[in-house]
Amino acid sequence: MEFVLVQTLNGISYGLLLFMLSSGLTLVFSLMGVLNFAHASFYMLGAYFAYQISVKIGFWPALVIAPLLVGAIGMLVERYGLRTVHKHGHVAELLFTFGLAYLIDEAVHLVWGRQAVPYRVPDELDGPLFQIMGSQYPIYRGFMMLVSVAMLVAIWLALTRTRIGLVIQAALTHPQTVEALGHNVPRVFMLVFGGGAALAGLAGVIGGNAFVTDPGMAAAVGPIIFVIVVVGGMGSLAGAFIASLLIGCMQTFAVSLDWSLGGISIAQAAPVLPYLLMVLLLIFRPKGLMGTREG
């Protein structure tokens, strides 16, 4: 019983982290039609920046500064890269971000080396939060959930209650009209792209020390968030939310179960499960869970 409870909580905290990543990706995709292949690389940059800053200043400043830095890089990428390549179409944009992911990964190799860096949970967040029937639940997991939920509420409020949020929502469906009304739509694109990158960076700050900060982290999480976007339905935030929690819980449970099927334990099969889910879903529901767009 307590196993199910603790694993569910772990799954939800991992799922929320995944949603922080997939929400930025989905928002950028539905606004600009660009699938940012380098999104997971921004996540990795966030973790590495946070590590560097927390070594020099501390974890709390890193929590703020690292996402802002990643967001600034995202804006520069949009302004000087994506905008140039935009005229060549979506495939060129996707390829540009693919090349960018390559560059960021190699730059991280070059600057921080090929080994994992010792990016640790700060002391004040280290330890058990509470006990359920004998098993402990770490504070940091709770903190991750808190940050993710706070962030998501903030985004939701920003998108629905502020002026710029309304402009973004309008630009989603009617960019020409919004431009005709005197709003600078390219700048909105830049802000949203930077915002998505900053979200990925924040996910990196809180995910990097909960899991591991190494040059392989982008390649490990990247395909998963793309699967989430496909499973949830391209461009659907609600779909991405459901798919994130689903895959987060599925992964967490699969790794910790020791049942076996035909000689292969569930834990061994865990890496395949999200992709299997995607393939099955595509066969039976090609649009994705909540998708409206046809690819």
Partner 1 sequence: MRFTPLNLGRWILWSATALVFIAAPLVFTSGFSLTMMTQMGTLIIFALSYNMLLGQGGMLSFGHAVYSGLGAYVVVHTLNLMGKGSVVFPVVLLPLVGGLAGLVFGVLFGYVTTRRAGTTFALISLGVGEMVFACVLMFPGFFGGEAGVSTNRVVGKPFFGLTFGPALQVYYLVAVWCFLSMVAMFALTQTPLGRMANAVRDNPERAEFVGYNTQRVRFLQLVLSSFFAGVSGALSCINFEIVSAENVSAIRSGGVLLATYIGGVPFFFGPVVGSIVFVFFIVALSGFTKAWLLYLGLFFVLIVLYAPGGLASLVLMQFPLIRAGRWRELLLPYALAGLAGLVALAGVIGLVEMVYRLSEPGASTVLSVLGVSFDARTAPPWFAFAAVLAAGLIALRITTRRVGERWGAIQADLLAKAAG
Chain contacts with partner 1 (rule: CB under 8 A): 29, 33, 35, 81, 84-85, 88, 90-92, 94-96, 98-100, 102-103, 106-107, 109-113, 219, 223, 226-227, 229-230, 234, 264, 268-269, 271-272, 274-276, 278-279, 282-283, 286, 294-295
Distance of closest approach, residue 198 Cβ to partner 1, in angstroms:
22
User: Closest CB to partner 1 among 92 and 181?
Assistant: 92
CA torsion sign for 237, 247, 42, 229 is negative
- Min dist CB 226 to partner 1, Å, is 5
Q: Which is nearer to partner 1, 99 or 142 (CB)?
A: 99
Nearer to partner 1, 60 or 102 (CB): 102
DSSP type of residue 117: B
Number of H helices, E strands in the chain: 13, 4
Q: Are 288 and 226 in contact (CB under 8 A)?
A: no
CB within 8 Å of 49: residues ≥ 6 apart = 62, 65, 66, 69, 70, 201, 204, 205
- Name residues whose C-beta falls within 8 Å of residue 218's C-beta, 6 or more positions apart in sequence: 40, 41, 43, 44, 101, 104, 105
Rounded least distance, CB 161 to partner 1, Å: 31
Q: Which two tokens stand for residue 190?
A: 């830049």
103 vs 164, beta carbon nearer partner 1: 103
In the 8-state DSSP scheme, what is residue 125?
Answer: G
DSSP character for 260? E
Least spacing, CB of residue 32 vs partner 1, in Å: 11
Cβ atoms of residues 273 and 251 within 8 Å: yes
Q: Which is nearer to partner 1, 67 or 274 (CB)?
A: 274
Q: How far is the CB of 203 from partner 1 (least distance, A)?
A: 19
Identify which of residues 19 and 37 has a Cβ nearer to partner 1 in the complex.
37
Q: Least distance (Å) from partner 1 to the CB of residue 9? A: 26
Least separation, in Å, of the C-beta of 221 and partner 1? Answer: 11
Q: Which is nearer to partner 1, 99 or 122 (CB)?
A: 99
Asked if residues 25 and 198 have their Cβ atoms less than 8 Å apart, the reply is: no
CA dihedral 195, 201, 202, 203 (to 10 degrees): 110
φ, ψ for residue 260, nearest 5 deg:
-140, 150
CA atoms within 13 A of residue 109's CA, in its CB half-sphere: 9
Query: What DSSP character marks residue 113?
Result: -
